[in-house]
Copies of this chain bind each other. A is one copy, B any other.
């Protein structure tokens, strides 16, 4: 645990450690967005964040260390799951959130850089997988409540349904086979819903093939 310098009565909730982390991760995100993972340099991050180089090297050690902590922060600050009252509404909200992130000029480039980092470095890969785990756990109640409402068969795997919604959107990001637009969002939600309702993602249906 890092020692927090906040004292009782301080108006700053975070203290110096938290402020340094904010500045460094913001600078790292900016540089990743501008130039990609291959050109992420700790000294440049320190300069841009107006933080001592030694602090950055001591605390984050490598570009992959920065990427890993950035993903932890993204998971900490990412949006909670929706609760629209229907499976279709919740999956629509989820798909729009993913599509909005991937098509946003800054966020889209940032995710591409994070995916690139994960393909070349194990630390970054572990952090990326933990980020997606956090997101899947956060949104799983939407599927669980849909099962209790009778919209999906018992035993439906929440992660499989949510992954089925995201997968076509990420595939378009990678292959640029077609744009990530409303048509793509609608098709992703409809295809995932139909498959889930038909029992493609129930544990019982998938276990025998393992």
Chain B: minimal CB distance from A140 (Å): 12
The size bracket of the interface on A is 35 or more
A159 and B183 within 8 A (CB)? no
Quick check: is A93 within 8 A (CB to CB) of the other chain?
no
B206 and A198 within 8 A (CB)? no
A129 and B190 within 8 A (CB)? no
A200 and B206 within 8 A (CB)? no
B167 and A171 within 8 A (CB)? yes
A181 and B195 within 8 A (CB)? no
Within A94-135, the residues touching B (CB, 8 Å) are: 112-113, 115-116, 118-120, 125, 128-129, 132-133
Residues in chain B near residue A3, CB distance under 8 A: none
Quick check: is A36 within 8 A (CB to CB) of the other chain?
yes
Measured between alpha carbons, how far is A133 from B178 in the docked complex, in Å? Answer: 10
Quick check: is A75 within 8 A (CB to CB) of the other chain?
no
Q: How many copies of this chain?
A: 2
Give 1 or 0 for each of A150-184: 1 = CB within 8 Å of chain B CB.
00000000011001101110111011111001110
Residues in chain B near residue A139, CB distance under 8 A: none
Chain B: minimal CB distance from A63 (Å): 10
B120 and A38 within 8 A (CB)? yes
Residues in chain B near residue A164, CB distance under 8 A: 168, 191
Where the two chains meet, the residues of A that have a C-beta atom closer than 8 Å to any C-beta of B are 36-38, 112-113, 115-116, 118-120, 125, 128-129, 132-133, 136, 159-160, 163-164, 166-168, 170-172, 174-178, 181-183, 186-187, 190-192, 194-195, 198, 200-201, 206-207, 209-210
6 other A-B residue contacts (CB within 8 Å) besides A190-B198, A194-B195: A115-B115, A164-B191, A187-B200, A187-B206, A190-B195, A194-B194
7 A-B pairs with CB atoms under 8 Å apart are A113-B119, A116-B116, A116-B120, A132-B176, A132-B177, A163-B168, A187-B200
